[in-house]
Structure 1
Amino acid sequence: MENKVIVLCGAPGSGKTTVRKYLTENFAIEPVLTHTTRLKRKGEHDGIDYWFETRETFFKNHYLEYVEYDGNLYGSSYESLERAWQRAPVATIVLDTKGAETYLERIPEKTEVVYLCVTDEKVQRERMEQRGDDADKIQRRLASQEAKRDKHLPDKLVKHVHVIENDDWEETKVKIQTLLQMLGIETTC
Structure 2
Amino acid sequence: MYELKDKELIFVFTGPNGAGRRTVAQMSGNTLGIKQVISYTTRPPRPSEMDGQDYHFVSSETFAAAEANNEFIEVVEIDGNRYGIKEADVAEQLQKFGAVYLVLNRFGAEALKKIYGDKIVRIFIYADRETVERREQERGDSPELIKRYMSHYDEEMAYKDSCEHVFENLDLAHTVFDLTKTLDETYLKRNLLDLD
Interval of TM-score (by shorter of Structure 1 and Structure 2): 0.7 to 0.9
**8 Å Cα contact 1:34/1:80 also seen in 2:** no
Residue identity over aligned pairs, in percent, reads 28
In the alignment, the residues of structure 2 paired with residue 97 and residue 64 of structure 1 have an alpha-carbon distance, to the nearest angstrom, of: 15
- Match runs of 1:31-110 below 5 Å: 31-59=36-64, 60-61=66-67, 62-110=71-119
Aligned to 2:168: 165
Aligned to 1:130: 138
In the alignment, the residues of structure 1 paired with residue 10 and residue 143 of structure 2 have an alpha-carbon distance, to the nearest angstrom, of: 33
User: In the alignment, is residue 2 of structure 1 matched against residue 7 of structure 2?
Assistant: yes
What residue identity is the alignment partner of 1:151? M
Deviation, structure 1 residue 187: 5.6
> Aligned with 1:49: secondary structure?
coil
Deviation, structure 1 residue 45: 3.0
Task: Give the TM-score taking structure 1 as reference length.
Answer: 0.86
> Aligned with 1:151: secondary structure?
helix
Task: Give the TM-score taking structure 2 as reference length.
Answer: 0.83
Q: 1:82 to 1:181 in 2, by over 3 A?
A: same
- 1:20-70 deviation line (CA, Å, top 9, x unaligned): 211232221100100000112224333222111111111314222221112
**8 Å Cα contact 2:184/2:192 also seen in 1:** no
User: In the alignment, is residue 180 of structure 1 matched against residue 183 of structure 2?
Assistant: yes
What residue identity is the alignment partner of 1:112? V
Moved segments of 4+, more than 6 Å: none
What residue identity is the alignment partner of 1:44? E
Structure 2 unaligned spans of 5+: 1-5
- Match runs of 1:108-123 below 5 Å: 108-118=117-127, 120-123=128-131
Aligned residues: 183
Structure 1 unaligned spans of 5+: none
Aligned to 1:17: 22
Aligned to 1:142: 150
**8 Å Cα contact 2:21/2:126 also seen in 1:** no
